[in-house]
Amino acid sequence: MIMTKEKIVIIGGCGHVGIPLGLAFASKGFDVTLFDKNQININVINGGELPFAEKGGKEILEDHIGKNLRASNDCSFIKNADIVFFVIGTPVDEHLNPKVRSVISAVEEYIPYFTAEQLLIMRSTLFPGTLHVIQEHLFRHGVNAKLAFCPERVLQGKGIEEIFALPQIVSGTTEEAVAAAAKLFLNLTSQIIYTTPDEAELAKLMTNSWRYLSFAIANQFYMMANDSGVDFNRVYDAMTAGYPRAKFFAKPGLAAGPCLFKDTMQLAAFYHNNFFLGHAAMLINEGLTDHLVKNLKQKMDGSLCGKKIAILGMTFKANNDDIRESLSFKLKKLLEIELAYVIESDPYLKNSVPLEEALKTADGVILGVPHDEYLELQINVPFVDCWGVWSK
């Protein structure tokens, strides 16, 4: 590792996107500050721990914290930085419309600390056209910093690993910004993909929407087969075994998390709500929870009233501790509407019911997420498993 004098500040740096990015650059010798308003996470990181699971992160953190890596809420670090990352993406409101103003407000908050020599990089999802709007706001406030958009595309929990392995999309409002961003990311990856800002913004949204649609196809087929009394897992095996054109056929499961659904709705808004495939995918993926509850109800003599139902896996994906937008909590609400007593069990969540206790007391089981701890279980009560883990 060669230490560099360049100073990086990541605004929103103590979250799921900022931490792997900061750890990656710190491991390459950059001076990195994870800037955040979450004092709890700041304290955890400065204490040498991570607030969530990130493969390979603990080792890098222990090697660099207090040396060329720190977490802070001190704005002076922003003013003295050479490179400032924003990992604040575009959220959607209760009507599933993009809240572009939230991104603009977040940038405007730190304008007093920007300088003309800095490189500003937007990292999280942006609604198409947002980078140009940010540029206009910066100009109006007399900020002539270089502005780039380099979207993250990493897998939750394996961010560090994929930052180094995946090509990096780079775009910017000027050639100078693009060149500076590309030079920076060549410290992490050997392949740079150059695009315009509009292309980069759409590429991020379309990537996540494509994945969301892929899951919707599998989930629709699963429900179709299930309602017809056919074992979809046998159908899936017949479709995919040794057949190259089914190589990328997704498996059914609860399509959740903070990105796929949100970005699909953003893409729909961008296309003036004419993205019918996206809206259909939302109805299918969100409707799978109703199907699972209905299926379990049928297996339990048509009533869940007073029954103890265990949901195994409350996080939004397997072998991870992230519960953001997890559909297991929607399952819980639907079961409670049926007057069932819900037992939440997840080995990655501290306050949940231990697996052995959950299985001992449950009258029925729904597999929420296929953690490794569940793969070899023998379930002796009525159960529903859309993931196909226990059917074999």
Domain boundary among 162, 195, 228: 195
Residue 89 pLDDT: 76
Residue 392 pLDDT: 63
φ/ψ (deg, to 5) at 199: -65, -40
Provide the 10 A C-beta neighbour count for residue 321: 17
Indicate whether 275 and 362 sit together in one domain: yes
Work out whether strand 146-149 and strand 168-172 pair parallel, antiparallel, or are unpaired: antiparallel
On whether residue 204 sits in a domain, the answer given is: no
For residue 44 the two structure tokens come to 């955890």
Residues 6 or more apart whose Cβ sits within 8 Å of residue 174: 146, 147
φ/ψ (deg, to 5) at 7: -105, 130
On whether residue 100 sits in a domain, the answer given is: yes
Residue 3 pLDDT: 58
Indicate whether 264 and 380 sit together in one domain: yes
Residue 301 pLDDT: 93
Residue 92 pLDDT: 84
Residue 311, Cα to own-chain centre: how many angstroms? 22
Work out whether strand 69-72 and strand 83-86 pair parallel, antiparallel, or are unpaired: unpaired
Sign of the Cα pseudo-torsion (3, 4, 5, 6, in order): negative
- Cβ 33 vs Cβ 72: under 8 Å: yes
For residue 352 the two structure tokens come to 């949940």
On whether residue 390 sits in a domain, the answer given is: no
On whether residue 132 sits in a domain, the answer given is: yes
Domain boundary among 195, 228, 258: 195
On whether residue 153 sits in a domain, the answer given is: yes
Give exposure, 153-167, as e/b (b: 16+ Cβ within 10 Å): bbebbbbbbbbeebe
Indicate whether 52 and 187 sit together in one domain: yes
Indicate whether 170 and 228 sit together in one domain: no
Residue 158 pLDDT: 92
Indicate whether 215 and 362 sit together in one domain: yes
Q: How many residues does the chain have?
A: 392
Element of type H or E holding 342: strand 341-345
Residue 88 pLDDT: 84
On whether residue 177 sits in a domain, the answer given is: yes
Indicate whether 248 and 339 sit together in one domain: yes
> For the whole model, what pTM was predicted?
0.92
Q: Where are the alpha helices (DSSP H) in 28-166?
A: 39-46, 57-64, 76-79, 100-109, 130-140, 159-165
- CATH at residue 309: 3.40.50.720
Residue 127 pLDDT: 93
Indicate whether 265 and 186 sit together in one domain: no
The DSSP code sequence of 8-40 is EEEETTTSTTHHHHHHHHHHTT-EEEEE-S-HH
Indicate whether 182 and 260 sit together in one domain: no
Containing structural domain, residue 217 = 210-384
Indicate whether 188 and 241 sit together in one domain: no
* Cα–Cα dist 39/22, whole Å: 17
φ/ψ (deg, to 5) at 384: -130, 130
Domain boundary among 169, 195, 221: 195
Indicate whether 169 and 255 sit together in one domain: no
Residue 325 pLDDT: 93
- Cβ 42 vs Cβ 72: under 8 Å: yes
For residue 92 the two structure tokens come to 């959607």
SS (H, E, C) 262-331: HHHHHHHHHCCCCCHHHHHHHHHHHHHHHHHHHHHHHHCCCCCCCCEEEEECCCCCCCCCCCCCCCHHHH
pLDDT average per 10 residues of sequence, the chain (392 residues):
80 95 97 96 97 94 96 96 92 85 91 94 94 94 94 91 97 97 96 97 96 97 96 94 93 93 95 96 98 97 97 95 94 97 96 96 97 95 95 70
* Cα–Cα dist 5/63, whole Å: 18
Indicate whether 82 and 32 sit together in one domain: yes
Number of domains in the chain: 2
For residue 230 the two structure tokens come to 């056919």
Work out whether strand 383-384 and strand 341-345 pair parallel, antiparallel, or are unpaired: unpaired
Indicate whether 174 and 274 sit together in one domain: no
* Cα–Cα dist 173/136, whole Å: 10
On whether residue 205 sits in a domain, the answer given is: no
On whether residue 130 sits in a domain, the answer given is: yes
Residue 145 pLDDT: 92
